[in-house]
Chain A
Amino acid sequence: MKTISLEIDGQHVQAAEGSSILIAARLNGIYIPTLCYHPRTRQAGKCRMCVVEVKGLPGLQVSCSIQAQDGMAVLTKTEKIIETRKMIVELYLSNGSHNCMSCEAAGKCELQDAAYHLGIEKSVFPVLKKDMPFDVSCPMIIRDMNKCIQCYRCITGCNNIVVNEVLDMGFRGSKMTVVCDTNKPMGKSSCVVCGECVQLCPTGALTEKKTIGRARAWETVRTRTTCPYCGVGCQMYLHVKDNEIIRVTGVEGTEPNYGTLCIKGRFGYDFVHSPERLKTPMLRKNGVLEEASWDEALDYTAARLTDIKQKHGPDSIVGIGCARSTNESNYVMMKFMRAAIGTNNVDHCART
């Protein structure tokens, strides 16, 4: 790829041809605040926080949407720019209900970060409190539209990334708000609860019900793992506090899922801590299930399979592979049935 060179705040930087000014700046360690930009939903041009001045172009330009050009001179911190950014954050603080005290997003909120970097304690404008009720109809997600900053990230995610086409922007002007289907409660809409919107939300407008009140964002330790549910092998982070999973998020920017998870991977982690979970093999002895060692269980199973095969022939046995296993495990399962047992009776739970 061709490299271009430009000047940002007097600093000579290199960038790949075709990248936006915002990306060119970020890759060179120059901070430009954003609220609506996300690497996966890309430029939206909605929040106007990333405005910069470009020599030769009139007024302010949104750095997320303007391509960096060879020889361009960009300024990111002039008085006009800072004043515009301050106005935007102050307007957000006045027009929404952005109370950080017990907000789940505190510590990972991009509006909070922007206010912090711009040194805004509170808005100078009068507060026009919105009083929209919480939408708690969805079993997993709470929507607090008073904290929504209309960044469109959830909408782009829902429509263009997971393509569930549930969320859209409804109404107009200051009444504009994210709606599910035809403005239904989320729990009564066609939402499949994949939680993509929650992961993309920059503020506390969308939060996970199961997380409420259990840990501040900075109290958890992140552990990367592979989703146990199916063979895709989605990469995810477990956010853990005191050995308990508080939240699960997809790992951004990496294969195979690039941050996206399904309802099971994102919300179906309760089984980890379930007291009913099997921890050892069980063998039924005299009609009662009893704990057994792995050796005991495997020996018993091998003996029984050999026994059945000898008495009734290999076609009396069928093997069902598991959708939660990897392709490799399922291949071994197939090989075992055909080579070791000697039957073609092998199938898969997702097909039966």
Chain B
Amino acid sequence: MDEIIFRNKNVPDSQNIEVYSGRGGYSALKKALSQAPDDIITMVERSGLRGRGGAGFPAGAKWRLLTKYRVKTVYLICNADEGEPGTFKDRYVMEFDPHLLLEGMTIAAYATSSHHGFIYIRGEYDWIAKLLVKAIEDAYAKGFIGSNIMGTDYSFYIDVFRGAGSYVCGEETGLIESLEGKAGRPRLKPPFPAAYGLYGEPTVIHNVSTLSYIPFIVQNGAAAYKAIGERMSGGTALFSISGHVNKPGLYEYPMGTSLRDLIYEAAGGIRGGRGLKAVIPGGLSSPVLRSNEIDVKMDYQLLNAAGTMFGSGGIIVLDEDTSIPGIALKAARFFAHESCGQCTPCREGTNMIRHLMERIMTGEGTPQNIEQMLRLCRHIRGSTICAFGVAATLPVEVMIRKFRSEFDAMLPGRPV
């Protein structure tokens, strides 16, 4: 089993800095500091590491963008606002292996010439925020972060910032606004954070698990990372498997593992021996797959080809007794509640989808209501400020398209 993030799993007291460095921790940082920043960027580019927050943007390319801003202040932000329903991977890293994240952050900061980093952690993870602060203090004391790291002239400081519990603050510009002390409402793009980010300075933002892969890549080389996993997406991925499975939990598997294997082998199959109805493969905002579509390899391109996306790796398994309109209602309610309200299609549209879905679920719906929802989904998508518009509409639209008969059955006067 190839375990990168899980290398300290089940090690007692793994969040302790002594335990972490005793198991080879912070040696990747030492190695990185002896190399030129550009070499580290090249290495990460070659590894093919892609952002694990959901969009899958190549990490090395993101760093390369920053190189032209080296003369300016560059900020590094770790996005720990893990809010995608069905996702609980970053939480594991921060709770049980915080130094892995800190080491990855410091290497990423060194490569991009950043001297100040922020961990934006969701407000609900208050105990984890405390663990992180403790870890940062320990790392400062050991000289792994702070001024003149390991005797070099490179300095890097990390602050922990607790969010106030908003899904849209996971969107990078919404996060930056929130970090600046404003309401978490995403910015118009362009300019992108690489050019105009935190306090108007060039900023690189990464998800917790993206950063946690960096020490492995630096220690073992790009080829070693790429050798794990299949096709263009190398390495491993963390899969948060939840729903109607026998063993819900967090699993690390190579990229390209089939969805069927994850559900039936890793997670022990469907609970109670029931049949499978559908799977949401990458967090609530990814389009649902039918039970006959799960022979797909978990890989960015292949999932896109299957009409869904890798997303955050949050796999939600739904058994045959699940009501898909019920799931659609939950999704619609969630997205209507989390819309920041800035732009009209999203603010009014998600609320209308919620309302229409509630009508259908209470038996007051009409066939027109379903068509209206499809119309909303089609036109909200692509007309909003941020990707929330896509996240809020694509799953509902695909649920209606793939399970239309279940929605029709909710209409009054139809045989159930």
Contact = CB atoms under 8 A, between A and B. Distances in A.
A84 B344 CA distance: 11
Given A125-B352, A173-B350, A87 B337 contact: no
B352 A150 contact: no
A88 B384 CA distance: 11
Contacts of A48: 343-345, 383-384
Contact of A169 (B183, B339, B382, B384): B183
6 contacts: A47-B344, A84-B379, A87-B380, A91-B352, A126-B355, A128-B355
B212 interface: no
A88 B183 CA distance: 24
A87 B183 contact: no
B383 A60 contact: yes
Given A59-B382, A124-B372, 5 more contacts: A47-B343, A65-B188, A87-B380, A173-B341, A175-B341
B177 interface: no
Interface in B348-398: 348-352, 355-356, 359, 368, 372, 375-376, 378-380, 382-385
B341 A176 contact: yes
B367 to A, nearest CB: 13
Given A51-B383, A87-B376, A150 B347 contact: yes
Given A48-B384, A83-B379, A126-B355, A172 B339 contact: yes
A327 interface: no
Contacts of A63: none
Contacts of A150: 341-342, 344, 347
A172 B340 contact: yes
B338 interface: yes
Contacts of B348: 88, 91-92, 94-95, 174
Contacts of A88: 344-345, 348, 383
Nearest to B349: A91
Contact of A95 (B166, B352, B356): B352
B351 A128 contact: yes
A51 B383 CA distance: 7
Contacts of A80: 379
Contacts of B399: none
Contacts of A216: none
B263 interface: no
Interface of A: 35, 43, 45-49, 51, 59-60, 62, 65, 80, 83-84, 87-88, 91-92, 94-95, 124-126, 128, 149-150, 169, 171-176
A173 B344 contact: no
B383 A126 contact: no
A274 to B, nearest CB: 45
Nearest to A36: B344
A131 to B, nearest CB: 15
B218 to A, nearest CB: 35
The dominant DSSP class at the B interface is helix
Contact of B336 (A60, A84, A174): A174
B58 to A, nearest CB: 18
Contacts of A45: 188, 343, 385
Interface residues of B, number: 33
Nearest to A45: B188
A126 B341 contact: no
Interface string B27-45: 0000000000000000000
Contact of B338 (A60, A83, A126, A173): A173
Nearest to A89: B344
Minimum-distance CB pairs A-B, first 9: A176-B341, A174-B351, A91-B348, A59-B382, A173-B339, A87-B379, A45-B188, A173-B341, A84-B379
A88 to B, nearest CB: 5
A149 B348 CA distance: 10
Contacts of A59: 382-383
Max chain A C-beta neighbours (<10 A), residue from B341, B355, B368: B341
A128 B338 CA distance: 19
Nearest to A170: B183
Nearest to A51: B383
Given A45-B188, A128-B352, A150-B341, A174 B347 contact: yes
Given A88-B345, A95-B348, A173 B383 contact: no
B181 to A, nearest CB: 13
A59 B378 CA distance: 12
A173 B166 contact: no
Nearest to A66: B190
B352 A94 contact: yes
A149 B341 CA distance: 11
A260 to B, nearest CB: 25
Nearest to B354: A174
Contact of B347 (A51, A94, A124, A173): A173
B382 A60 contact: yes
Interface string B169-206: 00000000000000100001000000000000000000
Given A84-B379, A87-B376, A173-B336, A92 B344 contact: yes
Max chain B C-beta neighbours (<10 A), residue from A51, A59, A125, A175: A125
A270 B334 CA distance: 52
Contact of B345 (A91, A124, A171, A174): A91
